């Protein structure tokens, strides 16, 4: 399955208020369908104070007025289904907003119906927090509540209290939310940071990270949390029965569960979370590092091969709303190599809006920044605003055709104008046209229609893997990537009958290929 992620705030503004909305997405459903994808993942659009832009939910049952109405969502859903697109929506079920009525009630005293709906703990004798757990967004993961004279736990902002998912009443309430949207007709859920829902009930301290130990892929190197191993603050074994409960509900509706799964060893954790009766698929930040590193990608390919032996299907992604855009991470001229790499991997792939255009990371000035993550760690870490700027639709219109407003919630990146949809649709050799060709090939090539995959030993920094289909024994797709900064020679003389399907940034001398820095070669042998 090929998934296209839409970040509603930045996709298309239909009413001229400077913020993207659901009718804007509906308007662009034909464009998404024309790409050839199978499903659309829509980031949160339910009611929220927007302190973390929708990942702080205050009402799970209604659309935030900024994005439209429930009727608008129903129209979007119907139009998507008419275009044979599945709709996957974000569900933030490990935490909510501190403005949600559940938390407002639960935080008012230690003796009310919601008193145990969140994770509360007494401070130490000296008044300090219960342990050393740190928030993803900086500082302690505990915040003091005067009314209860206790601390509450939050993995992210202080305004995002963590649910006590060990409480069956909480789980029942979330299951009711799931039922509401499934009965409306959605085709699946993307479960936000599902590994953060259960922590150690004994509240043991996380150990310090040794200096030699690499930082987990989902955490920037320069924030305090990078100094800990998150051994006790997340991914407790109690997560697994909860996932199984969610899967049982999803199966009743034939719905898909896509989990965001991270941590110290995300591939191993994703394998655990996608075992039989759990998530259908999961993705991690393993391929979302800031800089291309051949050794890291080689290990990723090896991990993919191990996962295939378990019979599980994973979702891979090189971009999303939380990380620097892949073209800027990998470097100039890398957008087509990245598309080939992601789309040639087995299993599922998630493409972030604008990835098909080869968009770069926008440089949002400090006075225009809105991301609390970036504002907390600026200038060492600029946060996520740069990958969330408005989508460029038409280079001849203000704000790239995204909005008719005088100003937009994030400034439009002027350099994206020449990469707009209308500009690229006029060019048969554009990145957009290239992306469509790869997607169409991926969906029609028999070798790509199963999870047949094997890593091929390679030297000199190359990454090589093959895709195959047991029903076509002599037909093999070989994928060769040079993600280094050096020219590497590769010989294709050993291939009896060989067709070059795709190539990026290489020079050919007969059967000897000179792979330039950041290049790709996709071969078909038959």
* Catalytic pick among 13, 52, 260, 371: 260
Rounded to whole angstroms, how far apart are CA atoms 333 and 358?
9
Cβ(134)–Cβ(141) under 8 Å?
yes
Phi, psi at residue 273, to the nearest 5°? -75, -15
- Measured at the CA of 46, the angle between CA 45 and CA 48, to 5 degrees, comes to 105
* Catalytic pick among 98, 187, 192, 218: 192
Instruction: Please give the helix or strand (H or E) that residue 328 lies within, else none.
Output: helix 326-330
Instruction: Please give the helix or strand (H or E) that residue 490 lies within, else none.
Output: strand 488-491
Rounded to whole angstroms, how far apart are CA atoms 384 and 319?
12
Cβ(305)–Cβ(454) under 8 Å?
yes
Cβ(32)–Cβ(2) under 8 Å?
no
Whether 305 sits among the annotated catalytic residues: the reply is: no
Tokens 């034939």 locate to 254
Cβ(252)–Cβ(259) under 8 Å?
no
First-to-last C-alpha distance (Å) of the chain: 25
| Structural tokens at position 451 | 């999870």
Please state, as a whole number, how many other Cβ atoms lie within 10 Å of the Cβ of residue 311: 10
Tokens 């995300």 locate to 266
Phi, psi at residue 235, to the nearest 5°? 55, 35
* C-alpha pair distances (Å), 509 with each of 313, 489, 492, 526: 38, 10, 11, 22
Whether 322 sits among the annotated catalytic residues: the reply is: no
The torsion defined by the Cα of 236, 246, 260 and 65, in degrees rounded to 10, comes to -120
Rounded to whole angstroms, how far apart are CA atoms 54 and 52?
6
Residue of 93, 246, 70 lying closest to 162 (CA atoms):
93
- With a CB cutoff of 8 Å and minimum separation 6, the contacts of 367 are none
Indicate the pairing of strand 476-482 with strand 488-491: unpaired
Indicate the pairing of strand 348-352 with strand 2-6: parallel
Cβ(209)–Cβ(228) under 8 Å?
yes
Active-site residues, by number, are 192, 260
């Amino acid at each position: 399955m090929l998934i296209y992620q839409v970040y509603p705030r930045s996709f298309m503004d239909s009413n001229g208020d400077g913020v993207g909305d659901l009718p804007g997405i509906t308007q662009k459903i034909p464009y998404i369908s024309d790409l050839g994808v199978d499903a659309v993942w829509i980031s949160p659009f339910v009611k929220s104070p927007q302190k973390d832009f929708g990942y702080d939910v205050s009402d799970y049952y209604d659309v935030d007025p900024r994005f439209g109405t429930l009727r608008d969502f129903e129209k979007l859903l119907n139009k998507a289904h008419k275009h044979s697109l599945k709709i996957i929506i974000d569900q933030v079920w490990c935490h909510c907003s501190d403005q949600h009525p559940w938390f407002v009630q639960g935080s008012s005293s230690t003796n009310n119906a919601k008193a145990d709906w969140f994770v509360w703990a007494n401070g130490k004798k000296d008044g300090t927090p219960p342990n050393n757990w740190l928030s993803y967004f900086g500082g302690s993961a505990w915040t003091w509540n005067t009314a209860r004279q206790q601390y509450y736990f939050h993995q992210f902002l202080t305004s995002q209290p963590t649910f006590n998912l060990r409480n069956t009443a909480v789980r029942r309430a979330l299951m009711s939310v799931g039922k509401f949207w499934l009965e409306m007709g959605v085709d699946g859920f993307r479960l936000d940071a599902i590994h953060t829902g259960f922590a150690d009930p004994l509240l043991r301290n996380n150990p310090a990270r040794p200096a030699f130990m690499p930082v987990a892929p989902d955490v920037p190197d320069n924030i305090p949390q990078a100094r800990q191993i998150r051994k006790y603050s997340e991914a407790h074994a109690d997560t697994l029965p909860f996932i199984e409960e969610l899967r049982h509900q999803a199966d009743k509706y034939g719905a898909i569960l896509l989990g965001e799964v991270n941590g110290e060893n995300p591939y191993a954790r994703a394998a655990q979370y996608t075992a039989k009766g759990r998530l259908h698929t999961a993705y991690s930040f393993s391929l979302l590092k800031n800089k291309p590193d051949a050794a890291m990608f080689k290990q990723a390919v090896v991990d993919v091969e191990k996962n295939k032996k378990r019979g599980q299907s994973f979702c891979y992604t090189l971009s999303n709303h939380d990380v620097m855009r892949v073209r800027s991470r990998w470097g100039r001229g890398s957008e087509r190599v990245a598309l080939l790499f992601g789309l040639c991997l087995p299993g599922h792939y998630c493409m972030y809006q604008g990835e098909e255009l080869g968009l770069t990371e926008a440089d949002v000035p400090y006075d225009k920044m809105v991301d609390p993550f970036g504002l907390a760690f600026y200038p060492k870490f600029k946060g996520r605003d740069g990958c969330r700027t408005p989508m460029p639709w038409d280079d001849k219109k203000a704000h790239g055709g995204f909005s008719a407003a005088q100003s937009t919630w994030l400034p439009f990146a002027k350099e994206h104008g020449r990469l707009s949809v209308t500009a690229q649709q006029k060019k048969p050799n554009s990145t957009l046209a290239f992306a469509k060709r790869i997607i169409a090939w991926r969906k029609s090539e028999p070798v790509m229609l199963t999870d047949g995959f094997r890593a091929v030993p390679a030297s000199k920094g190359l990454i090589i893997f093959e895709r195959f289909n047991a029903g076509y024994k002599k037909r093999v797709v070989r994928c060769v990537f040079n993600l280094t900064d050096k020219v590497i020679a590769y010989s294709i003389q050993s291939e009896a009958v060989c067709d070059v399907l795709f190539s990026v940034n290489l020079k050919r001398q007969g059967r000897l290929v000179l792979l330039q820095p950041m290049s790709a070669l996709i071969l078909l042998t038959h």
